[in-house]
Structure 1
């Protein structure tokens, strides 16, 4: 495929973005994003290990997601592949400290135009997961 065709195809890809401010420090949110028992409490069962290129699986009642860590910068950003049911995509978390806590931004990118069901499902799902994340954070003691 030539470069213009690749650029056009890439420009057609869609991204689900959820951004929310939490009244918790980045350290606390980072725990919920990287500790397997906490990830399970708000997202899915998993065998996550916070290390570059580490492969892991998220497992739900409907099936599983194959993932690999692409980027990890403690308490700042985490990015991993998300491959399930024909969707090859990337999830990126960005934590930004604010005066009141932390702004957490999640981008799930790579939805093709023919993947409407997956795209809309992700919009619904990530908003629901953010609610679960808030509950997990509320139950955690301290920042560390």
Structure 2
């Protein structure tokens, strides 16, 4: 199996502007992915994704912010060192499609982490299962958000 990248794509009936807010703002991220989030959607800004009562905290660094088209960040830094260039990159590409938006999520960098093969395979499988859960939740949250407006 190839562990280069994970890609997921969905179409939602929401504008790219709304989708951009939902993938880049803490108050929305905590509704479909994490229990809490602390981040500023500014390139180079450090933040955190939080699960449970801080039981699991993932430091992140925002990479690209191009509203309403692109949002990306790095996470899973070796030993939590945000200055280490080895990390996983998550990119949300938002493309207008009809009256909605095509969301393309890509996570890359598994091979570049420097892990032994078994650890790469474990992380990859774990992240595949995670995105298989959270990408549909993103779509469901957007549907609820748009219908409430």
TM-score interval, smaller chain? 0.7 to 0.9
TM-score (norm 2): 0.79
Which of 33, 50, 56 is the aligned partner of 1:63? 56
Aligned pairs (5 A) from 1:5-20: 14-20=4-10
Other-structure match for 1:136: 141
**Cα deviation 1:35-65 (Å, max 9, x = unaligned):** 2111001111110111111100101246221
**Do 1:64 and 1:84's aligned partners in 2 also have CA atoms closer than 8 Å?**
no
Structure 1 ranges of 4+ moved more than 4 A = 84-87
Consecutive unaligned residues in structure 2, runs of 5 or more: 80-85
Aligned residue pairs: how many? 132
Give the C-alpha shift of residue 68 in structure 1. 0.5
Give the C-alpha shift of residue 110 in structure 1. 0.8
**Do 1:94 and 1:106's aligned partners in 2 also have CA atoms closer than 8 Å?**
yes
TM-score (norm 1): 0.82
- Tell me, what secondary structure is at the counterpart of 2:138? helix
Aligned pairs (5 A) from 1:1-144: 14-44=4-34, 45-61=36-52, 63-83=56-76, 88-112=87-111, 114=117, 115-141=120-146
Consecutive unaligned residues in structure 1, runs of 5 or more: 1-11
